[in-house]
Homo-oligomer: A and B are copies of this chain.
Amino acid sequence: MIVTYSRNAFYYETDRMDIIHHSNYVRWLEEARINMMEQMGFPFQKLEAMGILVPVLSVETEYKFPVRFGDRFEVQSELTKFTGCKFSLEYKVMNVTQDKQSLTAKTSHCFTDTSLRPVRLKQACPELYEKYMQYLRGPVST
């Protein structure tokens, strides 16, 4: 299930190359993940209020076309792996204003307690576990 998130690029996100600084796309991916959880009906702050954190394990980004100040972008996010402890997402970021694909990305994450020790989501939060199973990309049919 591909979930989309969209807004305009902010002025303070630009750098002196007159494009969005590459580190800010990493922040947009986070905005999209948090928005995905809202769309799931389980806001991220609810998870953290239960003492469950979701640190980032890895990020991979490939920059293809710049986003500039005022351009509208759209992040298309998909949950591609979920083991119960860890999960991965894949993203496309579109420059909607320029009708170009700006970025592809992958991130991986785990669930931990507040001491950053791993927890299994099925035990720690069965309600979110069910939602993750539902949003997980199925096997690609041929």
Q: Hey, which bits of chain A sit against chain B, CB under 8 A?
A: 7, 10-12, 14-19, 21-24, 26-27, 30-31, 34, 43-45, 48, 53, 55-63, 66, 68-70, 116
A45 to B56, CA, bound (A): 24
Q: Contact check, A11 vs B66: say whether CB atoms are below 8 A apart.
A: no
Are B30 and A10 neighbours in the complex by a CB distance under 8 Å?
yes
With A14-B15, A30-B10 in contact, do A58 and B66 touch (Cβ < 8 Å)? no
Chain B residues whose C-beta falls within 8 Å of the C-beta of A68 in the assembled complex? 16
Q: Is the CB of B22 within 8 A of A26?
A: yes
- Among B12, B27, B53, the residue within 8 A (CB) of A30 is B12
CA–CA, A77 to B46, complex, Å?
A: 31
Q: Is the beta-carbon distance between B60 and A56 smaller than 8 angstroms?
A: no
Known: A10-B30, A11-B34, A12-B30. 13 other contacts (CB 8 A): A10-B31, A11-B31, A11-B44, A16-B16, A16-B48, A17-B53, A22-B56, A45-B69, A45-B70, A48-B69, A58-B60, A59-B59, A60-B61
